[in-house]
């Protein structure tokens, strides 16, 4: 593969999540690569109306669309609940723009939501004070998640979301985007420890790495366990949606239902129903292997210039963590946002059920990250007053 395309593929990976705070884990993004930011406009209102599944689906759909377009070219991305951010090479750029323009049309016509899509080249970001650095975290053998620091994504988001931004893609195309593998076939996953906590934290000051490292250690101390044990995805809390629900929902991925891809989607939904709902014995090994890997392939811990986590914890642990965060905020160390719910939402990208070939995007119930962001933004506003 061309060296210009293999930047992310060639990055060394780390396995200890606490290393997200280590500068040595990060590498400068190639200047010719592009940062793309997508987000659902009016997501807070949509979530207040109970449409958080729609918001999450569109956030994950952009990632699925670009993965399907780039094929074997690996690229870093992060799911943010009501949107996604990714870094792509200068390859099939026009095709990717077309795919995302088609997704904008699906968002509008089928979900009745606006999808903002914007892009800016890394070298242009650097001229505006935004440094993009990437790390590669091994989620599970064969499956990696990207981490970002340097402040570049924050700058990119501000530029793209600015009124009249020249970086925003305005075009909408009336063709079906490539959403093969994207699915949302599980009911919200119930908690097992008391509640699901959606957490956002951004360190302040000159030594953010120290603040993040101390915080991660403090969370494990408060909860008396490794972060892995707080993964909200648990098989006991899983229940599969009906075939009718899945057919109705996933039909919205298509502007035009009369095509081969929708027929393949119907077959996939019925096959999944036999595997997970009926639990046909012929699929027992496949089902058990997939369910065993489900939590291991879930992105409940993220970092993209801020720490994002969805944790399954007790009420007491939540209160202790909230008290600690507030103390650190008053000292000027960080800003944070919290939101609690009884369950979490899982949106899946499953091009294959083989180990290392599927990933599951996790958000807290009833708005999760988007609701936590309301508190976080209020704190930022107080800082600037």
> Under a CB-based contact definition with an 8 Å cutoff, are residues 361 and 62 in contact?
no
From the number of C-beta atoms within 10 Å of its C-beta (0-12, 13-18, 19+), residue 250 rates as buried
Kindly give, in sequence order, each residue whose CB lies less than 8 Å from that of residue 35, ignoring residues fewer than 6 positions away: 29, 85, 86, 87, 119, 120, 121, 122, 125, 132, 152, 153, 156
Where residue 288 falls among pLDDT bands split at 50, 70, 90? Answer: very high
Whether 260 is covered by a domain: the verdict is no
Q: Who's near 121: CB < 8 A, 6+ residues apart?
A: 31, 32, 33, 34, 35
Residue 217 domain-assigned? Answer: no
pLDDT in tens, 117-147: 999 999 999 999 999 999 999 988 878 999 9
How far CA 37 is from CA of 20, 62, 81, 157, 359, in Å, comes to 21, 9, 13, 7, 20
* pLDDT for 385: 61
User: In total, how many domains does the chain have?
Assistant: 1
Average pLDDT, the chain: 93
Predicted pLDDT of residue 383? 78
Reported as a single tens digit per residue, the pLDDT across 138-173 is 988 878 999 999 999 999 999 999 989 999 998 888
**Residue 121 included in any domain:** yes
**Do 192 and 362 form a contact (C-beta atoms < 8 A)?**
no
Please check the confidence at residue 11 and state whether its pLDDT lies above 80: yes
Determine the Cα angle at 342 with ends 340 and 346, to 5°.
95
71-93: average pLDDT: 94
Asked, for residue 324, whether it belongs to a domain, the answer is: no
3-state secondary structure of 207: coil
Query: How does DSSP assign 66-106, residue by residue?
Result: HHHHHTT----EEE-SSEEEEEE-SSSHHHHHHHHHHHHHH
| Contact by Cβ (8 Å): 173, 102 | yes
User: What would the two tokens of residue 295 be?
Assistant: 């939590």
In a domain, 332, yes or no: no
- Do 79 and 13 meet the contact criterion of CB atoms below 8 Å apart? no
User: Residue 112 maps to which CATH number?
Assistant: 3.30.70.1230
For residue 354, being part of any structural domain is answered with no
> How many residues in total does the chain contain?
385
More confident residue, 142 or 95: 95
Q: Is 365 inside a domain boundary?
A: no
pLDDT band of 322, cuts 50, 70, 90? very high
110 contacts 66 by C-beta, under 8 angstroms: no
Please determine, for residue 186, whether its predicted confidence score (pLDDT) is greater than 90. Answer: yes
φ, ψ for residue 375, nearest 5 deg: -65, -40
Does residue 352 form part of some domain?
A: no
Structural domain boundaries enclosing 39? 13-176
Mean pLDDT, residues 332-354 taken together: 95
């Amino acid at each position: 593969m061309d060296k210009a395309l293999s930047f992310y593929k060639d990055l060394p990976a780390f396995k200890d999540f606490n290393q997200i705070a280590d500068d040595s884990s990060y590498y400068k993004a190639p200047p010719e690569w592009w940062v793309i930011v997508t987000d659902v406009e009016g997501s807070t209102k949509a979530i207040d109306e109970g449409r958080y599944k729609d918001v999450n689906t569109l956030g994950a759909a952009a990632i699925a669309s670009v993965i399907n377009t780039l094929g074997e070219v690996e690229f870093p991305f992060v799911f943010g609940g009501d949107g996604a951010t990714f870094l792509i090479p200068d390859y099939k750029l026009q095709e990717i723009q077309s795919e995302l323009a088609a997704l904008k049309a699906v968002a509008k016509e089928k979900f009745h939501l606006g999808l903002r899509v914007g892009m800016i080249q890394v070298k242009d970001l650097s001229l505006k004070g935004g440094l993009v650095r990437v790390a590669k975290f091994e989620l599970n053998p064969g499956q990696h998640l990207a981490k970002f620091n340097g402040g570049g994504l924050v700058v990119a988001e501000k530029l793209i979301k600015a009124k009249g931004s020249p970086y925003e893609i305005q075009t909408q195309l009336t063709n079906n985007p490539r959403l093969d593998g994207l699915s949302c076939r599980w009911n919200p996953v119930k908690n097992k420890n008391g509640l699901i906590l959606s957490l956002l934290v951004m360190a302040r000051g000159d030594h953010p790495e120290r603040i993040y490292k101390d915080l991660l250690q403090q969370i494990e101390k408060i909860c008396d366990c490794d972060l892995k044990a707080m993964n909200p995805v648990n098989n006991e809390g899983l229940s599969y949606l009906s075939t009718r629900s899945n057919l109705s929902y996933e039909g919205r991925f298509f502007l035009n239902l009369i095509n081969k891809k929708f027929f393949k989607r119907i077959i996939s939904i019925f096959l999944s129903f036999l595997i997970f709902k009926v639990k046909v014995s012929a699929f027992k090994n496949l089902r058990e292997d997939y369910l065993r890997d489900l939590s291991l392939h879930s992105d409940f811990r993220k970092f993209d210039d801020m720490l994002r986590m969805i944790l399954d914890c007790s009420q007491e642990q939540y209160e202790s963590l909230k008290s600690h965060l507030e103390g650190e905020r008053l000292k000027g160390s960080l800003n944070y946002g919290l939101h609690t719910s009884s369950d979490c939402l899982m949106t899946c990208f499953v091009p294959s059920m083989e180990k290392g070939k599927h990933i599951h995007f996790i958000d807290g119930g009833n708005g999760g990250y988007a609701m936590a962001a309301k508190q976080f933004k209020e704190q930022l506003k107080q800082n600037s007053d």
